[in-house]
Chain A
Amino acid sequence: MPPPTPTDSLLADAAICRPQSRTDLFVSFTMLALQGFGGVLAIVQREVVEKKRWLTREEFLEDWAVAQIMPGPNVVNLSMMIGGRHFGLPGALAALAGMLAAPLVIVLLLAILYGNVADTPLAQGALRGMGAVASGLITATGIKLIAALDNNPMGRALCIAIAAMTFVAIALLRWPLVWVLLGIGGVACIWTYRVLGLKERLAQGAVP
Chain B
Amino acid sequence: MNMLPTLSNWVELFNHFASLSLLAIGGAITTAPDMHRYLVTEQGWLSETQFTSSIALSQAAPGPNVLFVALMGWNVGLNAGGGPQVGGVAWMLALLGMLIALVAIMLPSSVVTYTATRWAHANRQLRSVRAFKAGMAPIVIALLIATGWLLMAAHDQVAHDWRLWLLTAVTTLLVWRTRIHLLWLIGAGAVLGAMGWV
Query: CB of A178 within 8 A of chain B?
Result: yes
Across-interface contacts of A75 in B (CB, < 8 A): 64
Number of residue pairs A-B, CB distance < 8 angstroms: 373
Tell me the minimal C-beta distance from A204 to chain B in angstroms.
13
Given contacts A81-B117, A129-B192, A192-B134, contact A174 B41 (CB under 8 A): yes
User: Which residue, of A139, A166, A181, has the highest number of chain B Cβ atoms within 10 A?
Assistant: A139
Measured between beta carbons, the chain A residues less than 8 angstroms from B58 are 107
Q: Give every chain B residue within 8 A of A174 (Cβ-Cβ).
A: 33, 37, 41
A16 within 8 A of B: no
CA distance A88 to B122 in the complex (A): 17
CB-CB < 8 A to A76: which residues of B? 64, 66, 106, 110
Task: Give the residue of A73, A135, A185 whose beta carbon is less than 8 angstroms from that of B28.
Answer: A73
* C-alpha spacing A66/B130, complex, angstroms: 10
B62 CB contact (under 8 Å) in A35, A142, A185, A191: A35
A138 and B151 within 8 A (CB): yes
* A205: interface (CB < 8 Å): no
> Is the pair B135, A192 in contact by a Cβ cutoff of 8 Å?
yes
Most B-side CB within 10 Å, residue of A102, A135, A154, A181: A135
A145 to B165 CA separation, bound complex (whole angstroms) = 22
Contact A193:B151 (CB < 8 A) given known A37-B62, A106-B62, A144-B176: no
Residue A177, interface by CB 8 Å: yes
Q: Are A166 and B142 in contact (CB under 8 A)?
A: yes
The residues of A that contact B198 with a CB separation of less than 8 Å are: 125, 128-129, 132
Total B residues in contact with A, Cβ cutoff 8 Å: 105
A96, B194: Cβ atoms closer than 8 Å:
no
- Give the CA-CA distance A167 to B150 in the complex, in Å: 10
Between A and B, 26 residue pairs with Cβ closer than 8 Å are A33-B64, A37-B183, A62-B124, A71-B22, A73-B65, A76-B66, A81-B113, A84-B114, A99-B63, A103-B63, A110-B57, A115-B78, A130-B193, A133-B168, A134-B56, A137-B171, A139-B168, A146-B141, A154-B138, A163-B138, A170-B146, A171-B150, A184-B139, A188-B139, A189-B135, A190-B131
Known: A132-B168, A177-B20. 4 other contacts (CB 8 A): A67-B117, A70-B120, A74-B27, A134-B186
Q: Which B residues form the contact surface with A (CB < 8 A)?
A: 19-29, 31, 33-34, 37, 41, 52-67, 70-71, 74-75, 78, 84, 98, 102, 106, 108-110, 112-114, 116-117, 120-121, 124, 127-153, 164-165, 167-176, 182-183, 185-186, 188-196, 198
Binding site for B on A (CB under 8 A): 33-40, 62-63, 65-77, 80-81, 84, 89, 92, 96, 99-100, 102-104, 106-108, 110-111, 114-116, 118, 121-146, 148-149, 152-154, 159-160, 162-167, 170-171, 174, 176-178, 180-181, 184-185, 188-193, 196-197, 200
